Structure 1
Amino acid sequence: MTDTIIVLTEDTLASADVEKLLALHEGETYAYRVLVPADTDRPLVSTIIDSLSMGELKEAWHRALGKEPSAHEAKATAAEQLAGSIAAFVAAGREATGTVVEDDPLPALKAAVTDGDVVEVAVVTYPHAVEDTFHRDWASRAREELQVPVLHLYAGTSELG
C-alpha cells in the first residue's frame, strides 16, 4: 500500500496550492486523498468576522441574514471543489482521489488516518480570524486528535497557519 497524504480543503485547490504541497515532498511519491466538507453550518459571528476581514461585504451580509446553503447546495458545491482539486493534482502529474465529507471533517479525518497508511495531513484553508486565534481551526483540532503530522497552509499564499 502506498503512503498517503490527506489534504483537507475548504475550497478548490489552485495549481499553486498543489505545487506547494508537492514541493514539500519533492522526489517522493505519495498517494493524495482530498477531503472537502459540505459546508452547511459555519458559526455566525466568526463567519461574519472572516468575511469582513477579507473585504467580502456581500457574503457577510448574506450570512448575517441567515442565508446558509441547503444540504443539497452544500454537497453540490463541495463536489465541484473536490473535482477541481483532483484535476489540479492531475494537471501537476499526480493522481489523487477524494471524498465529500460532513460539515465537521474531524470524524472523516480520524477514519482516514485509522484506515490507511497516512503519513501526513495537510489542511488548506483561508485565514479564519477567530478559529485560528483560539486554535479551534481544523488543523489545530486535528493536531490534538491525530497521531500524524498536521500542516496548515493558507490557500493562495505561501503562509503557514
Structure 2
Amino acid sequence: MTETILVLTEEALTLPDLSNLRSLQGDEPADVVVLIPEDRNESVLGEFFRHLSLLEVGEAFRSFSADDRQHDEAAARSALEESLRLLAHEGFTARGRTTTGNPVDALVHEAADTGAGQAVVITRPHAVADTFHRDWANQAQDKLGIAVLHLYSGSGFIGDS
C-alpha cells in the first residue's frame, strides 16, 4: 500500500524541499498531497515583526495595509501549479489544492480523508510564531495523531515542533 505524505506550505515547493520529501518516502514511492492556503491566517502583528526581524522595514509597515484577497488566491493557485509541476518532473505522484480558512484545520481534514501516515509543514521562519510554538507545525501536532515535521522552505533546516 502506498503511503500518503501531506504537505502544508505557504509558497511553491523548491528542489531542496523535494529532496527532503524524497528522504521521507523511503523505498516505496509515496503519494504527496500539497495544500497551499489562499490566505495564511497570519496575524498582522506577527507579520509586522517577521518583516522587522528580516530588516524589511518598508514591508513591515505595508503589512498594516488592506489585504488584497484576489492577489492571495492567484498567488496560492500559481504556487500550487508550480509545486505540482515540479513534483511531477521529479517523479513524484502528487495532487493538491488551495485552501481557505484555517490551514491547520484543512490539514487535519485531509489527514482524516486520506489516512496519511505523516505530515510535513514547509514554511519560511516566522520569529514570533516559531518562538511561542504557535506555528502551523505545532498546531498540527496538537491536533493530529501522526508525525508532523516542520521544515524551513528551501533548506534542510528543521523547525522546532
Asked if 2 retains the 8 angstrom alpha-carbon contact of 1:2 and 1:117, the reply is: no
**Distance across 1 between alignment mates of 2:30 and 2:41:** 32
CA 1:13 to 1:144, structure 2 compared with 1: closer, same or farther past 3 Å?
A: same
- Partner residue, 1:48: 48
Aligned-residue offset at 1:95 = 2.0
Q: Distance in 2 between matches of 1:41 and 1:126?
A: 15
* TM-score normalised over the length of structure 2: 0.92
> Structure 1 CA distance, aligned partners of 2:40 and 2:22?
30
Alignment of 1:136-147 (within 5 A): 136-147=134-145
2:99 aligned to 94, 98, 101, which one?
101
The structure 1 segments of at least 4 consecutive aligned residues displaced by more than 6 Å after TM superposition are none
Question: Residues of 1 paired with 2:82 and 2:31: CA distance?
Answer: 17
Work out the CA distance in 2 between the residues paired with 1:43 and 1:122: 22
State how far apart, in whole Å, the 1-side matches of 2:11 and 2:40 are. Answer: 14
Partner of 1:11: 11
Q: Which residue of 2 aligns with 1:69?
A: 68
2:156 counterpart residue number: 158
SS of 1:13's equivalent in the other structure is: coil
Q: Identical aligned pairs, as a percentage?
A: 35
Unaligned runs of 5+ in 2: none
Cα distance in 2 for partners of 1:83, 1:15 equals 15
Aligned counterparts, 1:113-152, within 5 A = 113-152=111-150
Residue 58 of structure 1: CA displacement?
3.2
Change (3 A) 1:58 1:67: farther
One of 107, 110, 113 as aligned partner of 1:112: 110
- Using the TM superposition, give the Cα deviation of residue 24 of structure 1 relative to its aligned residue in structure 2, in angstroms: 2.4
Preserved contact between residue 127 and residue 154 of structure 1 (Cα < 8 Å): yes
| CA RMSD in angstroms, aligned pairs only | 1.5
Quote the Cα distance in structure 2 between the aligned partners of 1:41 and 1:92. 30
Distance 1:40 1:4 in 2: 23
Structure 1-normalised TM-score? Answer: 0.92
Secondary structure of the corresponding residue to residue 45 of structure 1:
helix
1:92-129 superposed Cα distances (whole Å, 9 cap, x missing partner): 11121001001421221111111112010000000001
Letter in 1 for 2:140: A
Deviations 1:67-103 (A, max 9, x none): 3122x22111100011111112112111210010014
Distance 2:83 2:3 in 1: 19
